[in-house]
Structure 1
């Protein structure tokens, strides 16, 4: 890998993964069903590239990859879980079978695998003579079944046991072991075969669940119309396949975090936002964390030399960083506490005008970024800077950011500049 790529920041590597790498994988997962081992290896390579800047070696991940693939609202980086996404793309092929059957792939599967009967998709078994793709699609029937509702017409393609024609879902699962032998209805029976002389020809019900099914059947009368499928993901009828909606239904959802708007706010500086995200998760290698890993380290804070280093000490109980942070008090209309959790609470709950909110978040993240950079410089390069120099750099960065905003929103830029210099 080129040395120029290794010199990228975390944000630069994240940008490459979320655009170039993700674009390539998205193309292949949309065209083919890839083995899970292949996708797992890709995730491993992306994780090593993000955290180390190279593909060899292992370890050194600051945040678990499964967390990185959750949305930013749930504490992650918003990257895709490619195993789930590949399933989403495979489900679209099944959707094409039922709603775009004139496509080449759908026509081939219906003719060669389903023997011309689309309803057989729910009843046939996987076979060695079928292609790997066809067998994989059949293995996904349980996943897509709840969203494939069928409006009964003539009942000729609606199978009693396996089609989603009732509010009870899969009848075999609903009866809990009372299968075709107990109910007296063969496994490949269609509803049309149970309809005789404009009445349902059913065996006697032997359980309450069988009574429920027979009671619901009395509300249905077969007609000469064809059975029609409807696409209802999340109980919402739709005429299109939304990969994003299906992805959200299949992925593991975790509770939203309360701080994502403060970390990933629009207009923030990318590398500052990334470091802030790491600190909010408390995943940066501060000395207290390194000691908890069993490493023999001097736990003293290199910025103030008067306490043990931890995230909560650095931001902003440390006199060094506290001096930088209090610089905002001279300009901002809000209270600026020194406790980490109190700062997060203030940023979330305090009502501010848009210019002051942007300035406050920009300054908060800039203090975290420059303080952490100074800490690393003192440890790894033995270079020391004064608080005044760091304040000057932060002030310069914020002024440059205000100037950049002017290109998109001149009025907001002017309001921010007037607030900052007032």
Structure 2
């Protein structure tokens, strides 16, 4: 019988309803299973939730009120209860590059460990952006308020539409609404641009911090172009439905 307990636990699910009778920690109401098993006994306090709290107790006026995550386990828990957001189709599409998609998802959720967040965790480090050296590093500064990242974003984005927004969430909204202007393949190309630029910018940031190796904007332009072309080359040949994505890419952008 003892051997059956883990199996039975996996099969059990809880209907949340209004959340008043569902245990936040012990009931199986998320895809992660009982949350007490994900983050342990210290998990609920770090989320400012009582061990015995219901799901509804963990909300204020129907909205989650969690502090900044300080571990991957807590980060995963916070992502599961997250509501559907307007930019979800900009992130999740079948042609995506998984690592770029994951990085972009974290950026839009403001879950990347930018320096302002790390300082809130109590670590003593300078919060200055390592690319422009002129502002505090936040998610919005990284994407795309920083003059270094802005130049990369505008270089590619303005080839598709003039004056693309220089703010992470405004850019996502711009792409989400682009289906009213562009065909589906053009929208996919925009999504590729957006996610790949986020990936390249964050990779450059980590390189400067952890290896003290810096790349110029021209080198990053080449790296981004190579990344996009390698992915677009993997798609099948043109069909009567429209041009190859790589052909569409060259129609919008002339590589350096």
Q: Same fold (TM over 0.5)?
A: yes
SS at match of 1:323: helix
Note the C-alpha offset of 1:371. 0.7
Q: 1:369 aligns with which of 193, 199, 212?
A: 199
Tell me if the contact between 2:38 and 2:73 (Cα under 8 Å) persists in the aligned partners: no
Tell me if the contact between 2:119 and 2:127 (Cα under 8 Å) persists in the aligned partners: yes
1:397 alignment counterpart:
227
Tell me if the contact between 1:287 and 1:309 (Cα under 8 Å) persists in the aligned partners: yes
Note the C-alpha offset of 1:278. 0.5
1:33 aligns with 2:44: no
- Structure 1 runs not aligned, ≥5 long: 1-27, 46-58, 76-254
Give deviations 1:352-376, integer Å, cap 9, x for gaps.
Answer: 2223212211111111111111111
Give deviations 1:281-307, integer Å, cap 9, x for gaps.
Answer: 101110111122222110111001111
Note the C-alpha offset of 1:32. 3.8
Give deviations 1:77-131, integer Å, cap 9, x for gaps.
Answer: xxxxxxxxxxxxxxxxxxxxxxxxxxxxxxxxxxxxxxxxxxxxxxxxxxxxxxx
Q: Give the TM-score taking structure 1 as reference length.
A: 0.42
Paired with 2:121 and 2:236, the residues of 1 have a C-alpha distance of 46
Give deviations 1:160-185, integer Å, cap 9, x for gaps.
Answer: xxxxxxxxxxxxxxxxxxxxxxxxxx
SS at match of 1:34: helix
**Which stretch shifts more, 302-311 or 399-408?**
399-408
Summarize the Cα distance change of 1:284–1:329 in structure 2 as closer, same or farther, 3 Å threshold: closer
Q: Give the TM-score taking structure 2 as reference length.
A: 0.67
2:71 alignment counterpart:
60
SS at match of 2:9: coil
Give deviations 1:307-337, integer Å, cap 9, x for gaps.
Answer: 1111111111111101111111442135312
Summarize the Cα distance change of 1:414–1:341 in structure 2 as closer, same or farther, 3 Å threshold: closer
Note the C-alpha offset of 1:413. 2.7
1:360 aligns with 2:190: yes
Tell me if the contact between 2:108 and 2:169 (Cα under 8 Å) persists in the aligned partners: no
Paired with 1:318 and 1:414, the residues of 2 have a C-alpha distance of 29
2:136 alignment counterpart:
308
Paired with 2:79 and 2:157, the residues of 1 have a C-alpha distance of 34
Paired with 2:169 and 2:7, the residues of 1 have a C-alpha distance of 47
**CA RMSD after TM alignment:** 3.0
Paired with 1:330 and 1:257, the residues of 2 have a C-alpha distance of 25
1:419 aligns with 2:247: no
1:258 alignment counterpart:
86
- Structure 2 runs not aligned, ≥5 long: 13-25, 41-69
Note the C-alpha offset of 1:343. 1.2
Tell me if the contact between 2:229 and 2:246 (Cα under 8 Å) persists in the aligned partners: no
Query: How many residue pairs end up in the alignment?
Result: 198
The structure with the greater share of residues assigned to helix is 1
SS at match of 1:332: coil
Summarize the Cα distance change of 1:331–1:367 in structure 2 as closer, same or farther, 3 Å threshold: same
**Which stretch shifts more, 337-346 or 357-366?**
337-346
- Return the index of the structure with the highest Cα Rg: 1
**Which stretch shifts more, 397-406 or 375-384?**
397-406
Q: 2:123 aligns with which of 295, 298, 304?
A: 295
Paired with 1:298 and 1:42, the residues of 2 have a C-alpha distance of 35
